[in-house]
Homo-oligomer: A and B are copies of this chain.
Amino acid sequence: MSTPPLAGGPAGPDALRPLVDTVLDALHEGAVARGGPLPPGGPTAITDHIRTTLTSAPRDAPHTGTAAPGTAPHTEVIPHTGTGAREALRTLVRAVAYGAADPAHPRCAAHLHTPPLAVAVAADLAASALNPSLDSWDQAPATAALEHLLTRALAAEVHPTGPDPDALVTSGATEANQLALLLARERHGTLGTTVQTVCAASAHHSVHRAAWLLGLPEPVTVPAPDGTLDLTALDAVLTGLRGPLLVVATAGTTDTGRIDPLPEIADLCDAHGADLHIDAAYAGPLLFSTARRHLLTGLDRAHTVGLDLHKLGWQPLAAGLLAVPDRALLAPLAHTADYLNADDDTEAGLPDLLGRSLRTSRRPDILKVAVTLRALGRTGLGVLVDQVCAAAQHLADLVEKNPALELYERPTLSTVLFRPTHADDTTVAAIRRALLTEGHAVLGRARSTDGRVWLKATLLNPHTTPDDLADILTLVEGSTAR
């Protein structure tokens, strides 16, 4: 066997071209074979399909020069002898495309699981092919510069009046929440005391997980009877606590898309001397919408702000950020390893990247973001935000007009909670699972503060039409699980 070709260098693109063609063909074939938002059959059928595919003999693929037809069927997940690049790509990509819950399908609307833009996906191919690693300048000269410029520009959107806005690239708001708690822990570490996190009952589960990870006390939970942090209760909690405090507010909750009252929370934090982190994973990109950025008033008063451009930013995973008003706030992450940032190299002008992440090797997720922002501009991104928020309003209208359905509340962002009128919680959950296992629709679920279970449509697809929305409701009404 000759040495398989690399993706990089001047010859890389020619090696990639036929393989990428194979991938695009397989993606198309898989999507056509699937038909709907996900295949029918549920977990057992899909796992069986993948197991059979993985352990199959090479397909009789006409373009597969390096495959070995006639060899015995594989019986192992990791074969002894390879089937060749094009056979492997065709077989496995087709299988995972068939077996996807594809967020580009208008009836796949369960989670903050975005259908990525083609331009962002194409840009991400360049990140894979060049494979820069952002732990040292000599592995990523250009992408380190790109990250430097873009993160500061994005941070300035969040903290326009900050003294030196900067942002770290994260794997998502879960990591942004971890970093926010870690930075708070380290800011107050010299006091010999432990920072106490305070968050609403509607905050993301990762806030609790981050406290556990970092060895911090379990967050104190403040009630959120309407889905947002209750100000009176927050005031009482902050009054009753001693020592350094970190309040975590949410701009765009996972369950309902509600935005906590940010200016009032910032005022209470000021009054009690508490630090403020805002998890704006969902709502953050409203900054690009002229019509909706006012909903984020107060965002710039936080010490740290998390946002995910793999939600309302239409990036493939991952594209998270943690923004700060002042780069100095990131100092606790400073870290040295002689082979990556020796003092004499840093003094000689080689940028020190190691304090910009807890990871060491790190993919340049900023490239796809930079390309998307240049391609669409802030205006183009804002239009997409407005489109999905408008779709949610339309879906809420349809639910309100339909006596067979109940609407939880008017949507704030692009999340709509509803359920069949008179259905009990067990039935609501069963309807969701039936739509999933029949391959008809991917809807989410959420539990309201009164304990009731709702179907959740999280609309992130800007191509979704009013007819698509009506179809979702028709499927719910006609579900076999009712």
- By the criterion CB–CB under 8 Å, are B118 and A433 in contact? no
Question: Is the C-beta of A478 less than 8 angstroms from some C-beta in chain B?
Answer: no
Question: Is the C-beta of A23 less than 8 angstroms from some C-beta in chain B?
Answer: yes
- Of all A-B residue pairs in the complex, the 9 with the closest CB atoms, nearest first, are A99-B142, A215-B215, A8-B104, A82-B377, A19-B122, A88-B375, A77-B153, A7-B121, A9-B104
Question: Interface-forming stretch among A10-18, A322-330, A467-475?
Answer: A10-18
**A123→B89 CA distance, assembly (Å):** 6
- By the criterion CB–CB under 8 Å, are B111 and A209 in contact? no
- By the criterion CB–CB under 8 Å, are A121 and B115 in contact? no
Using A16-B24, A349-B43 as known contacts, say yes or no to A121 and B129 having CB atoms under 8 A apart. yes
Interface residues of A in 122-162 (CB under 8 A from B): 122-133, 136-143, 145-146, 148-150, 152-154, 157
| Dominant secondary structure of chain A at its interface with chain B | helix
- Contacting residues, chain B, for A167 (C-beta < 8 A): none
How far apart are A18's CB and chain B's nearest CB, in angstroms? 9
- By the criterion CB–CB under 8 Å, are A141 and B89 in contact? no
Using A77-B150, A371-B88 as known contacts, say yes or no to A20 and B19 having CB atoms under 8 A apart. no
Q: Mark A13-54, 1 if CB is under 8 A from B, else 0.
A: 111110110111111100110000011001110110111001
Contact sample, A vs B, 6 pairs, CB 8 Å cutoff? A3-B384, A3-B462, A26-B126, A93-B371, A129-B316, A350-B436
- By the criterion CB–CB under 8 Å, are A142 and B100 in contact? yes
- By the criterion CB–CB under 8 Å, are B85 and A118 in contact? yes
**A80→B104 CA distance, assembly (Å):** 27
- By the criterion CB–CB under 8 Å, are B121 and A375 in contact? no
- By the criterion CB–CB under 8 Å, are B461 and A83 in contact? no
**A154→B3 CA distance, assembly (Å):** 23
How many copies of this kind of chain does the complex include?
2
Question: Is the C-beta of A480 less than 8 angstroms from some C-beta in chain B?
Answer: no
Using A12-B104, A92-B367 as known contacts, say yes or no to A461 and B142 having CB atoms under 8 A apart. no
- By the criterion CB–CB under 8 Å, are B445 and A339 in contact? yes
Interface residues of A in 57-108 (CB under 8 A from B): 76-85, 87-89, 91-93, 95-105
- Contacting residues, chain B, for A174 (C-beta < 8 A): 358-361
A96 touches which of B88, B93, B142 (Cβ 8 Å): B142
- Contacting residues, chain B, for A141 (C-beta < 8 A): 38-39, 43, 46, 99-101
